Amino acid sequence: MNKLWLIVKREYLIRVKKKSFILATLLTPIGIGALMIGAGFLAESSSKSDQRVLIKDDSGIVKSSVIKKSQMVMDFTDQPLDSLTKNYVKDGYDMALYIPAFTDLSNKKHAVKYFSEKKPGMAVIKEIERKVESSFKDHKIKSSEIDRDVYDSFAISVDMEDGSLKDSESDGKVSIMLGTAFGMIMGFLMYMVILVYGMMVMRSVMEEKINRISEVMISSVKPFYLMLGKVLGVGLVGLTQVAIWIVLIPVIMLIVQSVMGIDPQAAQMEQIAAVAQETDGFNIAEIFREVKAMNWVMIIPAFLAFFFGGYFMYSAIFAAIGSAIGDDMQEGQTLMLPVMLPIIIGFMMLQGVIRNPNGSMAVIGSMIPLISPIIMPARLAFDPPIWQVLLSIAILILTCVFFAWIAGRIYRVGILMYGKKVNFRELSKWIFYKG
């Protein structure tokens, strides 16, 4: 036990003390901050349009209605269409718009033509469409002699609310949105952890083999302990890094928010939460209340279980592969591909799972141990049935034990084996080699 501790300590300290670790740990949150500032600016600037549009309105409807103020410059002209299309650029406009006459009030479609040298963005087209539509709608209402108030009273908004919540509580959409965000973050985190730290274990085993230190080591430590110590040490490095990020990233986001005066999250949240599209915005207090109301007692231990389980399972496999390939990276790739496949499949399933966190794909995915460490953490914020969480963890633990055993068997042969072409058939033979 003492030896295992020594190995874990060495594997941990040697990495944590490295300059590259310190840099990566500190630069990643800063990078994310920079990315968010960029995304914030982009989101802001894409919502504004400084396009100049010259309009020939034969219907007279848009011209006579009051167009809401916007960044977009909209001027009207009476010149003939062919001279308009020839001259709008010369006159300093980005786009010309032709609105044909509108005679039949019962028409439900009306084609408006635009002319532009550069292809306009979707946002610009949508904005103009919205404006023209609203002018036409007003015109139709006026012409039909329906009272505007009566018409307005037809509008109704239906809100889906969580029936299990009390009236004083929010409608649950914020929690769905937060769950989606959490799900994405957790799923992605797991994917990263497995890949980055699993590879780290593999490289470290390869290095030991290439440096020919394996035999020196296992003349005083059992190979299984050497592998276990390495896996645990690197795992702790991962945990340290993730923990630092969990603290640093929100801090940097807060700083970005307060110093730059922009809300970097706003743009992202919009993207993440398709569910939240129609809501009229959340206030911070509500978000905080929802974050507090999440079932952290279940989420934190369960996340840690999947973090360690998923990492342990994959890094044991990566350690075994590292021991088998030594310095032949090319050979390693053919061995790694089948291991990477479930990780990638799990990651691809992630979006579907978040869209329907209690659907059959999510439930089945949670029970398959090779992908459950990515799928299940993504579901945690959606209050999955506790039995599913526990069953998923139990299956994962059993699989971990199984893979640790297999990896240990391969490792003990692999680290002493040089110059042998290794494939899966060979590896499976190693599992059954006697001591």
- Applying CB under 8 A, the residues found at the interface with another protein are 3, 6-7, 10, 14, 208, 211-213, 215-222, 416, 418, 429, 433-435
Cα(386)–Cα(395) distance, rounded to whole angstroms? 14
Nearer to another protein, 227 or 336 (CB): 227
Q: Compute the radius of gyration of the chain from its Cα atoms.
A: 30
The minimum distance between CB 419 and another protein, in angstroms, equals: 12
CB 412, min distance to another protein, A:
9
User: Which of 296, 433 has the CB closer to another protein?
Assistant: 433
Shortest distance (Å) from residue 282 CB to another protein: 50
The single-letter code of the amino acid at 112 is V
Among the listed residues 263, 299, 259, the one whose alpha carbon sits nearest the alpha carbon of residue 282: 263
| Closer residue to another protein, CB minimum distance, 173 or 230 | 230
CB 16 to another protein: min, Å: 14
CB of 207 to another protein, least distance (A): 8
| Sheet order of strands, 73-76 included | 73-76, 52-57, 95-99, 113-116
Phi, psi of 118 (to 5 degrees): -100, 145
Question: Between 164 and 219, whose beta carbon lies closer to another protein?
Answer: 219
In the block, residue with structure tokens 């231990």: 301
Report, in Å, the least distance between residue 5 CB and another protein.
10
Tell me if 179 sits within 8 A of 357, measured CB to CB: yes
DSSP symbol at 119: P
Contact in structure between 319 and 415 (CB atoms under 8 Å) = no
Is the Cβ of residue 213 or residue 337 nearer to another protein in the bound state?
213
Q: Nearest approach, Cβ of 427 to another protein (angstroms)?
A: 14
At position 308, the amino acid (one-letter code) is F
Least distance from another protein to the Cβ atom of residue 260, Å: 40
Q: Are 293 and 175 in contact (CB under 8 A)?
A: yes
Could you please report the per-residue DSSP string of 58-77? SS-HHHHSPPPP-SSEEEE-
Distances (CA, A) of 82 to 92, 200, 279: 17, 66, 44
Task: Give residue for tokens 């963005």.
Answer: 121
User: Which of 113/429 has CB closer to another protein?
Assistant: 429
Q: How far apart are alpha carbons 307 and 231 in whole angstroms?
A: 13
Pairing of strands 52-57, 73-76: parallel
Least distance between another protein and beta carbon 221 (Å) = 6
Q: Which is nearer to another protein, 10 or 130 (CB)?
A: 10
Task: Determine how β-strand 52-57 pairs with β-strand 113-116.
Answer: unpaired
Residue placing its CB nearer to another protein in the complex, 68 or 425: 425
Smallest distance from another protein to CB 202, Å: 17
Helix (H) or strand (E) holding 98, with range, is: strand 95-99
- Token pair in block for residue 346: 């799990």
Comparing CB distances to another protein, the nearer of 198 and 326 is 326
| Partners of 73 in beta bridges | 52
Cβ-based nearer residue to another protein, 140 or 222: 222
